[in-house]
A and B are shown apart, each in its own frame.
Chain A
Amino acid sequence: MKLAKICKETLDALCKSDDLYKLSDLPEKLIDHIKTCNQCASYRNSLLETIELYKNYDIKLDKNTQKKLLCNACNKLKEDL
């Protein structure tokens, strides 16, 4: 399916945007387009969802491991000094 020129421009701007949430760095013309184009709106949503999924996928360092790693690093540093 061939994309309309404005859609292409919007997708490109969305992928480069520094503010995908508020779109403050997008020209007014493209913000208006997103409001009326389902395809571009859903593309933006899927980008946001991708970011959220990765943000939510995290691991925690347990206190014992943290202590152990800090001790190891300190001992190594003391040896070097």
Chain B
Amino acid sequence: MKKIDEELDLIEAAKKGDINAFNKLIKNYTQLIYSFSFKVCRNEEKAKNTLQDTLINVYKSLKTFDGKSKFSTWLYKVVTNNCLMLRRSEKAGKFISVDDIQFDSSSDHFISSAVDISSKETLNTELKEKLDEAIKKLPLKYRLVFILRDIEGLSIEETKNILNLSVPVVKSRLHRARNFLRNELKEYYEAS
């Protein structure tokens, strides 16, 4: 409870323009933002860019945070929008529907250099490549639902609010994403 009150105080101070309060507040969330951005774009540099843009946008739009949702849920919304904006700016000049968005696969180099597995299970490079390949094939609209719901552990309700979708649409996208990824990794399960 004390932690929540502390956070609310920092939010209020940051809303009034206190950059130090903002710094203190956001420090606890930089890993979450970075990690989520990486999971969406599967590229370390893009994740860093998204993190930086998100920090600026969070500060600028903090006034719109009304406290009705958790701060982290609101933050996911801002990061998601930044991921989409980054993708759009890469394709500047062309209109890209969210439905058509696919991240490129030219960033495989990060697999060996930048990835630090903070898990109970150590994933080998070959498996990581498979996971990357599979998720990159998944259109962004499905990928976002899968990451928010299944990886980040947000509820269907929260996922729906972040993406401005209805519950049936979230469920239907989740259905497609889970089934698609499971099929893409079928060989791995059969081999093990």
Contacts and interface: CB of A to CB of B under 8 A. Distances in A.
A65 B31 CA distance: 11
B48 to A, nearest CB: 7
A50 interface: yes
Nearest to B48: A69
B178 interface: yes
Interface stretch (B49-57, B80-88, B99-107): B49-57
B185 A59 contact: no
Contacts of B39: 54, 58
A49 to B, nearest CB: 7
Interface size class of A (residues with CB under 8 A): 20 to 34
Nearest to A66: B30
A20 B118 CA distance: 23
Contacts, number: 108
Contacts of A53: 123, 127, 131, 185
Contacts of A57: 115, 117, 119, 123, 128, 131
B178 A15 contact: yes
Interface in A44-62: 46-47, 49-61
B150 A15 contact: no
B150 A69 contact: no
A46 B134 CA distance: 15
Given A15-B175, A70-B55, A59 B23 contact: no
B163 interface: no
